Amino acid sequence: MSSRLLALVLVVLAGCATLTQDSLDTRFGPADPTRHDSPRLAAAGEVSYRREVKPILDRRCVVCHGCYDAPCQLKLGSWEGIARGSSQAQVYDSARLRAAEPTRLGVDAERASQWRRKGFDAVLNERLPSPGNQLAASVLYRALALKRDHPLPAQAVLGDEFDFSLDRRQSCPRLADYDDHARKKPLSGMPYGLPGLEARELDLITRWLQAGAPDDPVPPLPAAVARQVADWERFLNADSAKARLMGRYLYEHWFLGQLMFEGDAQRHVLRIVRSATPPGQPIEQIATRRPYDDPGVPRVYYRLQSDRETLLAKTYMPYLLSPARLARLRGWFLDADYRVDALPSYEIEQASNPFVTFAAIPPESRYRFMLDDAGFFVMNFIKGPVCRGQTALDVIEDRFWVFFIDPRIDTDDAAAQALQRQGQSLHLPAAEGSNARLLAWRQMAESEERLLAAKSAAIDVVAAGQGGARKLDLSLIWNGDGRNPNAALTVFRHFDSASVVQGLVGSEPKTAWVIGYPLLERIYYLLVTGYDVYGNLAHQLSSRLYMDFMRMEGETNFLLLLPKAARDPLRDHWYRGASDEAKRYVNGSAGRVETETAIAYRTADPQRELYQLLRGRLAPVLDRRFELDRHLDQERDRSLRQALVALGALRGASLSWWPETAVLRVDAPGREPKYFSLLRDTGHANVSTLLREAKALLPGENRLTVVPGFIGAYPNAILRASAAELPALAEAIAALKSEADYRALADRFVIRRTDPGFWAASDALHDAYQRWSPAEAALFDYSRLENR
C-alpha cells in the first residue's frame, strides 16, 4: 500500500470515529439518561438478573470490577452499579492538588441520571429500546462481544499490549468511542486479560440485555430479621443524651462494616447509615464526605439499610449483632455511671478528635467496645479505602503480631489518664479536612512528641510508686478475658494490599505491636473515620506520615516488656539505615521509658522468649485455624505435612522472584483438594523511608509463610500440584534466580490467567473458600493476578 493511500485510509478511519461521535442520535436515537433511574421488573419467562445473570457477572466480572479500585469506577456487583456506568475520573489519584468530589455508589447519587450529571457514562442502552440497540448501544455487551470475537492469544504469557500494572492508564471507552476503541484495541474485550465467557453464559447476559436489563423484585426482609432491625434501631435512636452520644459513637465505628444478625441463616447484610427520618419511616440517607461531618439536620437517626452489593474479600468486614452484644453495649454505654451535659458539635477540629467528641463516655467503655471485636476494627484499617497501593502500605512490615493492653490497666491508672489528657489536644490529619496543607505536618509531629513525653513520664512515675504500683510484665497484656480470640492478631502486608487474621500465624516475626486504647482509637480515626480517599495530595501524604508515628508507638509498647539493655539494640535492628530522627520516636528521646521490665528472662534471646511467654498467656483464646496440624490427618497426610513444612522453611533471595500472595491447590486421588496460602514476607532494613522502599530491601531475610486455607484478597498466582510434587516445587522455588527460572516453574505449577481452564479453577477456589469459612468467604479480586 502506497503512503498516499495509507494516509487516505487513516483519514477515513478518523472521520468514521468522528462521525460515530456526531451521529449517535441518528444511529441509535436520542439518549434518555432517566431510562435506568429505576429498573423494569422482569416479566414471566424473561431471564432473571438475580438468579441467572448476577452469578455470572459476580464470578467473571466483579472479580475485577468491585469497590473503589474498579477500573473506570464500573462496579458490577449490583444492578444499581451497572446502571450507574463508568467514569473517566480516577478515585485513587495521589497527585491531586484539590480534593475530588466523592462518587460512592449508593451514597452520593441515587439514580442513573444523577450519575450522568456527575460525568458517568452509560454501559446499558439508554437510546431507543429497539432489539438491535439493546446490544449495539450497550458498552457492556460490546465489551463482552469483543472478547468473544477476539479471544486471548494462544500463548502462556501475554505480550506488552496488555497492561496489568496497578496504576496503569485507564481505558474507559464511551459508546461514541467504541468503534474506534475496538479497531485499535481488539484484545481489550472483557474479561480483560482473562478467558472469555462460555457461550451459555454470554447467551444469558445477551438475552437479559435484549430485554432491557430488567431486575427482579427485591424480597422483603424475613419477619424475624425485620423485628431485629426495629429492635436495634430503637436502641440506637433513644432520646436520652447518653443514647444519642452512644449512637454517634457506634455509627462512626460501624459505618464501613457489613452488619448481620446472629441466627439469620441467610445472612442478610445491612449497613448503618445516618438518616433525616426516624425509624418507621423510609430512610433518607444523609450523604457527607466523612461520617462525622455536619449532617445539616436538627436530629440524626441511625438506621439499618439492606446492602445488596456482592461481597468482596477485599472489603468484606462482617460484624455480628446479637442479644449478647446488645447487652454488653447497654452496659458499657447506657448503664455506666456518667453524665452527658451537652451533645458535641460537628466542627471539624472537635469532630475529628474522638478524645474530645466522646470525652463524656468512660474510656474503659470505649476501649472494651473496640476490644470486643478488635479484629474487625483492625480490619477496617486494612480493608478500608486507605489501604491500596505500595505507598499506602510501605509503612508496615510484611508480617507482624498484634497484642493489646489490658483494659483494666489502660484506662485506670495515672499513665492512662495522662494519655487521655494529651489525646484531647492531639492534632490529627483529618482536622485539616480533605484539602490539607503540607505545612500542618509539623504541628502533628509536635503534638505526637508531647503525647510521647507525657506517656513515658507517667509510666516511669507510676512504676516507681509505692510498692511498684504498675509493673511492666505480662499482666499488662489483655488475655481476651479468657474467651475472646481477638486478643492476638496477625497482620500481613502483600506489597500493595494487606490482610489481618486472628491468631499468631507463622514463625516469630521481626516486630510486634502492643496497642492500648489511645493508640487503637487514633489509628482508627486516622485510617478509617478521618481518611478521605478523594482527598488531596497533602491529606493522603500526612495520613501516611502520621501512620509512621502509630507504628512506632505500637513497637515501643512491645519493647517496654523487654529488658532495658535489649531495647535499643533491637530497635536499631528494626531500623537499620533509618535516620536518628526516626529512632527518636521508638523509645528514644521523644519519649524514653527508663523503667526496667519485671519479666525475669532466662535466655540470651529475650524477644523470642517474650513471644513464647505471650503465646502461653494467650493459649486459651488463640485462634489456631491456620495451623497445619488442625487440618491434616496425622497418618494419611504425613508426607504432605513434611512437604508443606519444607516449603515454609524456605528463606532468602530466591523468594524475591516468588509472588507476594499465592494460593496452592493440592490434589489427592479420591479426596477433596486442599488449599494453602503461600505468603512472602519480604525482608526490610526498615519501613520508615517514604518512596524509597527498594533501597531498604534485604532479600536475604525473605521468608515464606505457609498456612492452610485462605489469607489475602488479591491472589497473585494460583498453583496446582499433587502432594508428591511438592518437594519439586520447594526445590524450584529455592533455585529461583531469574524471571526465566520463575517462568519454568510456572509452566509446571501455575494456573495462569491465560489457561483455558482458569474459570473452572477459579470457581473451585471460591467454592473451597466458602466451605473453609462460610462466615467470612467472599469473592477474590484478580486485578493483581500476575502475567508471568
Report which secondary-structure segment, H or E, holds 489.
strand 489-493
Question: CA torsion angle for 505, 507, 509, 512 (degrees, to 10)?
Answer: 50
CB-based burial of residue 305 (10 Å sphere; 0-12 exposed, 13-18 middle, 19+ buried)? middle
pLDDT at 746 over 70: yes
How is 504-525 classified by DSSP, letter by letter?
--SSPPSEEEEE-HHHHHHHHI
Average the pLDDT over 154-161 and give the result.
Answer: 96
**pLDDT of amino acid 469:** 62
**pLDDT of amino acid 415:** 58
Q: How many degrees, rounded to 5, is the angle at CA 743 between CA 739 and CA 748? A: 155
Q: Which residue has the higher pLDDT, 318 or 385?
A: 318
**pLDDT of amino acid 11:** 34
Average the pLDDT over 171-200 and give the result.
Answer: 96
**pLDDT of amino acid 533:** 92
549-608 pLDDT, tens digit per residue, is: 999 999 999 999 999 999 999 999 999 999 998 899 998 888 899 999 999 999 999 999
Q: How far apart are CA 138 and CA 129, in angstroms?
A: 11
Q: Which residue has the higher pLDDT, 621 or 544?
A: 621
Q: What is the mean pLDDT of the chain?
A: 92
pLDDT at 67 over 90: no
Partners of 493 in beta bridges: 498
Average the pLDDT over 604-614 and give the result.
Answer: 98
Average the pLDDT over 185-199 and give the result.
Answer: 97
Q: How far apart are CA 73 and CA 87, in angstroms?
A: 6
235-261 pLDDT, tens digit per residue, is: 999 999 999 999 999 999 999 999 999
* Of 57-61, 381-385, 467-471, 630-634, minimum mean pLDDT range: 467-471
Question: What percent of the chain lies above the pLDDT cut of 70?
Answer: 94
- Name the residue among 749, 735, 730 with its Cα closest to residue 788: 749
pLDDT at 782 over 80: yes
How is 358-406 classified by DSSP, letter by letter?
TTTS-HHHHHHHHHHTHHHHHHHHHHSTT--SHHHHTTS-SEEEEEEB-
Q: How confident is the model at residue 229 (pLDDT cuts 50, 70, 90)?
A: very high
Q: How far apart are CA 717 and CA 678, in angstroms?
A: 10
Cα 17 versus chain centre, distance: 40
654-700 pLDDT, tens digit per residue, is: 999 999 999 999 999 989 999 999 999 999 999 987 777 888 999 99
pLDDT at 459 over 90: no
- Long-range Cβ pairs for the range 147-150 (8 Å, 24+): 147/189, 147/190, 147/191, 147/196, 147/197, 148/189, 148/196, 148/197, 148/202, 149/186, 149/189, 150/186, 150/187, 150/189
pLDDT at 465 over 80: no
4-62 pLDDT, tens digit per residue, is: 443 333 333 344 444 455 689 999 999 999 999 999 999 999 999 999 999 999 999 99
Average the pLDDT over 386-406 and give the result.
Answer: 85
Confirm if 401 and 509 have CB atoms less than 8 A apart.
yes
Question: CA torsion angle for 454, 456, 460, 463 (degrees, to 10)?
Answer: 100
* Of 72-76, 179-183, 306-310, 460-464, minimum mean pLDDT range: 460-464
Q: Which residue has the higher pLDDT, 389 or 501?
A: 501
Q: How confident is the model at residue 419 (pLDDT cuts 50, 70, 90)?
A: low
**pLDDT of amino acid 414:** 61
Average the pLDDT over 288-305 and give the result.
Answer: 97
* Of 316-325, 339-348, 380-389, minimum mean pLDDT range: 380-389
Q: How far apart are CA 438 and CA 442, in angstroms?
A: 9
Q: How confident is the model at residue 416 (pLDDT cuts 50, 70, 90)?
A: low
**Phi, psi values for residue 472, rounded to 5°:** -85, 85
**pLDDT of amino acid 73:** 96
pLDDT at 133 over 50: yes
DSSP state of 220: P
**pLDDT of amino acid 4:** 43
pLDDT at 170 over 50: yes
Q: How far apart are CA 621 and CA 485, in angstroms?
A: 5
User: Computed from CA positions of residues 101, 106, 110, 116, in that sequence, does the dihedral angle turn out positive or negative?
Assistant: positive
pLDDT at 2 over 60: no
**pLDDT of amino acid 420:** 64
Neighbours of 634 (CB within 10 A): 8
User: Computed from CA positions of residues 429, 432, 433, 435, in that sequence, does the dihedral angle turn out positive or negative?
Assistant: negative
Neighbours of 66 (CB within 10 A): 27
Report which secondary-structure segment, H or E, holds 113.
helix 112-117
pLDDT at 448 over 90: no
